Amino acid sequence: MAFFHTIRGGWVLVAGLLAGLPMMRAQAVSPFVSGVWSGNVTPTSASVSVRLNAAGLRARLVVSTNDRLTPAVFSQVIASAAGSGNTVVLDIQGLQPATDYDYGIEVGGVLRTEFNSRGKFRTFPQGASSFRLAFASCGDYRDADQRVYDAMLAEQPLLFLHMGDFHYSDTNSILTDDYRRNYDSVLNHRNQGALYRGVALAYMWDDHDFAGDDSNGTAIGTAAARTVYRDTVPHYPINVTGGTIGQSFTVGRVRVIMTDLHSAATPATTAESAAKTRLGAAQKAWFKQELITARDVGFPLILWVSTTPWIGAPTLGADTWAGYSTERSELADFFKDNLIKNLVVLSGDMHALAYDNGANSDYALGGGAPLVVLQAAPLTRLGEPKGGPYAAGPILGTGQYGLLEITDNGGPNIQCRFTGKRVGEGAKLVFQFAASTTGIVPTGVSGPVGGTDRAFVNVSTRGRIVNADEPVIVGFVIGGTTSRNVLARAVGPTLAAFGVTDAVARPVLTLYRANTVVASNEDWTTTDTARLKTAFERVGAFALVGGTSPDSALLVTLPPGAYTLQATGAGGTTGTVLVEAYEVP
């Protein structure tokens, strides 16, 4: 039940005069461990989650159609409890469809004013309507370039479907607090926290945010990860048995089904058989029933959030559907046999934009179950292909996300437009289609947008450091208006493998813009070696040695401008060095 309360100016003045000092003290110390976020949105309700810093704090959600939060609708009062990490999930009802709402949090009867206690969401429309969804995956709060979250917030989608890898902490622990801290780090991040306060979220984990790279149901952290997700995330009702976190909901006349592909999965290295599963038996039965129900209700479009790629040749050990080819074929046969003709797959994990129009996605026995597949990632990671082939793409890069625009005038068909975007460059990929209970039909102009987007590919020079005052120098210019990911290296010891006998023993690499030092490195193994190795592979650069005589490398995001790389020898040493720079797509 909804309750409205108008705060009158005289009452506030009297309260302030009588209790001004206590109120000031109450606002001085924040009770919030991390910021608010919203989800579980329907046409008339929503949920907001926030973590408090002590047990027994009484919290209430305050919702209004303006940022003054008056007049307001209130949730029930919920007391924080240690068992849930002092996280409270506050449910609000009695809202109006297709309406923008602001919200805040009362703690101990005091409406808090901290920026991270205030947010916004828009309730879903009722019935046929037009709207826009954003979807993407694969971002980490520790990465340097976080502009993609600002870009998505500026798009103002009705909902952000986060398809996993919410962070890259790779936690696999029996301690729930280890998982809670991961959520805190994301929600307290300036860019990410702003997005999650400004747009409602529907989030399904992948591997790095579940229990580590390629993790599955055998992970020791499975129970803890599931518990913290249920306590912390403002999620839709979880009605599947067996512990997985699959959920479904409706937006307008679109049904959305999100599946948990990790917490009940058997290891990808298990030999193929009917028992090998990504979904687990209980969730698979639930998923199939969800599809039947959506078909029978007559939704023109069904979206399946599959956090890993659907398309790919069967490959033992692959942490995609290609590594679970028997179950993939089982599902495809089910789609065909039960006339599920309007299913579209939204997928992440692959660090690229791509789509398939059904030409490469049919895994039913004898064919008959082509699926439209829309891939959108990565948020902040480096570009990397996975699976395929696709009808268009993969377009590798970083700062990428997808928009799905739905135009529904109430007829049998709804018009859909997928746009894959990159920060600072706009649309990179477009696919348009019409959806109805009879199937998916491509419409309009689709395909990659524009030509090459590379600012430069590679510059390099080999020279000799003769003394400390005569470094080897390479210059390059980044044109346009968009920042670029650049890999720079000063290679000395590894040159021995190419027959160079006088290579500098320990090169020092310094990056300058004019006379300002942007970054410097003396030993590439002391930084994020995993990301550097990935970058080496992406640009086709040879591997570097480590040990006591290391080469140097930098991976940086640079705005347009002129730059120089200078290589010197540590401690005044001399020798031959290779200095190179690559754009990392």
| Domain with residues 124-448, CATH architecture | 4-Layer Sandwich (3.60)
Q: Which helix (H) or strand (E) covers residue 192, if one does?
A: helix 190-198
> What letter represents residue 43's amino acid?
P
Residue 18's pLDDT is what? 30
Q: Round to whole Å and give the CA distance between 153 and 31.
A: 26
| Cβ neighbour number for residue 327 with a 10 Å cutoff | 21
- Of 71, 84, 49, 104, residue with least CA distance to 2: 71
CB 415 within 8 A of CB 383: no
Residue 496's pLDDT is what? 86
CB 105 within 8 A of CB 62: yes
- 3-state SS, residue 477: strand
- Of 124, 72, 63, residue with least CA distance to 408: 124
pLDDT along the chain (585 residues), means of 10: 32 31 55 98 98 98 97 97 98 97 97 96 96 97 94 95 98 98 97 97 98 97 98 97 97 98 98 98 98 98 98 97 98 98 97 96 97 97 94 94 95 94 90 95 80 60 84 84 86 87 92 92 88 82 78 91 91 91 84
The dihedral sign for the CA sequence 381, 385, 386, 387: positive
CATH 3.30.420.10 matches 458-583? no
CATH tag for 4-118 (out of 3.20.20.150, 2.60.40.380, 3.30.160.250, 3.30.2270.10): 2.60.40.380
Q: Round to whole Å and give the CA distance between 228 and 83.
A: 10
CB 75 within 8 A of CB 29: no
Q: Round to whole Å and give the CA distance between 398 and 383.
A: 6
Residue 450's pLDDT is what? 63
Q: Which residues pair with 74 in a beta bridge?
A: 62
| Token pair listed for 549 | 């005589």
- 3-state SS, residue 282: helix
Q: How far is CA 183 from each of CA 151, 193, 209, 251, rounded to the nearest angstrom?
A: 21, 10, 10, 26
DSSP 8-state class, residue 210: T
Ramachandran area for residue 231 (φ above 0: left; ψ -120 to 50: alpha; else beta)? alpha
Q: Round to whole Å and give the CA distance between 539 and 124.
A: 43
Q: Round to whole Å and give the CA distance between 303 and 47.
A: 22
Of the chain, the end-to-end C-alpha distance in Å amounts to 52
Please name the residue that has the structure tokens 């959305």: 256
Q: Round to whole Å and give the CA distance between 289 and 344.
A: 17
Q: Which residues pair with 433 in a beta bridge?
A: 416, 442
CB 544 within 8 A of CB 452: no
- 3-state SS, residue 259: coil
Torsion of CA 437, 440, 444, 450, to 10 degrees: 140
Domain spans in the chain, listed from the N-terminal domain onward: 4-118, 124-448, 458-583
CB 351 within 8 A of CB 138: yes
Q: Round to whole Å and give the CA distance between 581 and 568.
A: 16
Q: Round to whole Å and give the CA distance between 446 and 355.
A: 10
**In sequence order, which residues have a C-beta less than 8 Å from that of residue 537 and are 6 or more positions away?**
none
> What letter represents residue 584's amino acid?
V
| C-alpha angle 39-45-48 in degrees, rounded to nearest 5 | 40
Please name the residue that has the structure tokens 């969800």: 290
CB 358 within 8 A of CB 442: no
At residue 83, φ and ψ (nearest 5 deg) are -60, -25
| Token pair listed for 430 | 């477009």
CB-neighbour burial class of residue 80 (10 A; exposed 0-12, middle 13-18, buried 19+): buried
